[in-house]
Amino acid sequence: MNKKGKTAIFMVVATLLNLVLLLIFFILLFMILFGLLPSTIPAIMDIQAMSFVLPLLWFAGSIFLSFFVYSKLIKWATKKFDLENKLDPIFTPKRYRKEKGE
């Protein structure tokens, strides 16, 4: 398999990993924000703004956390498995592209 094929497979697997991370953080933050927080601070649900703020924290927090963990995992995997030499770069400026000599 050539570098482009390996890169395509890597991107599909990485995208699926990102979606799984998003789902995990989505569920965890839902349990924390809507399960534990109101039971520890019952007065927080009486505030009108919390009906807007809690879902916003839920969505934004899960997206941020999944992106953060995903980027750390990709950097770790790239360094540990030397993926820069095994995968074809997806986004490279034209001035840095190697001449293929075809």
> Please, which pLDDT band fits residue 71 given cuts at 50, 70 and 90?
very high
- d(CA 29, CA 59) in angstroms, rounded, equals 9
**65-92: average pLDDT:** 89
Is 97's pLDDT higher than 70?
Answer: no
pLDDT at 99: 58
What is the mean pLDDT of the segment spanning 47-75? 89
Helix/strand/coil for 94 = helix
C-beta of residue 62 within 8 angstroms of C-beta of residue 25? yes
First to last CA, the chain: 20
Closest Cα partner for 25 from 48, 58, 72? 58
- pTM of the shown model: 0.77
Mean per-residue pLDDT, 11-19: 95
Structure tokens at 28: 């965890």
Q: Which residues contact 101 (CB under 8 A, 6 or more apart)?
A: none
